[in-house]
Amino acid sequence: MKIIIGTRKSPLAIKQTEIAANALKTAFPEDEFEIVGITSEGDKRLDKTLASFGGKGVFIKELEAALLEGGIDMAVHSAKDMPTELPEGLEIGAVLPRGAHEDVMISLSRKAPSVIGTGSARREVQIRELYPDALIKPIRGNIGTRINKLKSGEYDALIMAKAALDRLNVGADLIITPLDFVCAAGQGIIAVETRSGDLKKYTDAINHAPTMAALKAEREFLKQSGGGCHSPIGAHAAVVGGEIVMKTLSVRSGEIIRETKILKMG
């Protein structure tokens, strides 16, 4: 059987799709898995902030349209790019074991940065606690583009997901500073989206149940909070014993609220 897997065309998206495809090939060596790149609206409009033309979801809607139309059989996403409400007829069929969930700061110098790049409201409110006098400057583009802007001197530092650096094996020539931030819901998770109930033999074989439980908890918090990628909201859940421990971040009346929640499985 041949299964067509859709992905964005960015190096990170392709790498993550290759990881998912390799997991499927290991489980089903007799089948063929073809990767097809699709350009998303978010990738086309790099001159504007995401909030100005749709926010969360602009990186995946073309992939979801291809799924619904039958042009592809699966779509692979960074889970943090997925809105809390999926189109009718689609579901997250599987997730792979979570990679690093942490944010890091990358820079060329150990001096306190004056200009810090991020396009995330969640990261911005947390970095302002560490560097209240720094200018927070928006940044768009793929990982390589962002690093080039750092090296050209346009920024003193960037805030990035550690999982992205790990998966692309970049950053060895940069100073990487760990940050004790509450991450975005789904950060570090590779999600496989399918038509509802479709190809369950395949998705069940590669799904990592603890990561799926954590993702569901994070996405439910995001949904209940009414937040998205341009709201200062974060959540990180992990299965500990028979419970889910979740750390959350939100902003109320200008105050950053961090909480730890203990949830029951299921």
Distance CA 183, CA 201 (A): 31
User: Quick one: DSSP state of residue 27?
Assistant: H
Q: How far apart are CA 2 and CA 167, in angstroms?
A: 26
What single letter denotes the amino acid at residue 260?
A: T
The H or E element that residue 264 is part of is strand 255-264
Of 81, 133, 173, 180, catalytic: 81
d(CA 199, CA 138): 40
Q: Tokens at residue 183, please?
A: 């991450």
- Report d(CA 255, CA 199) in Å as an integer: 45
Residue keyed to tokens 């993702």: 215
Whether 133 is catalytic: no
How far is Cα 43 from Cα 145, in angstroms, rounded to an integer?
Answer: 12
Q: CA separation (Å) from 5 to 20, 167, 207?
A: 9, 19, 16
Q: How far apart are CA 98 and CA 238, in angstroms?
A: 10
Q: Is the dihedral of CA 84, 87, 91, 92 positive or negative?
A: negative
Residues with Cβ within 8 Å of residue 60, at least 6 apart in sequence: 8, 40, 75, 77, 81, 82, 193
- Tell me the catalytic residues: 81
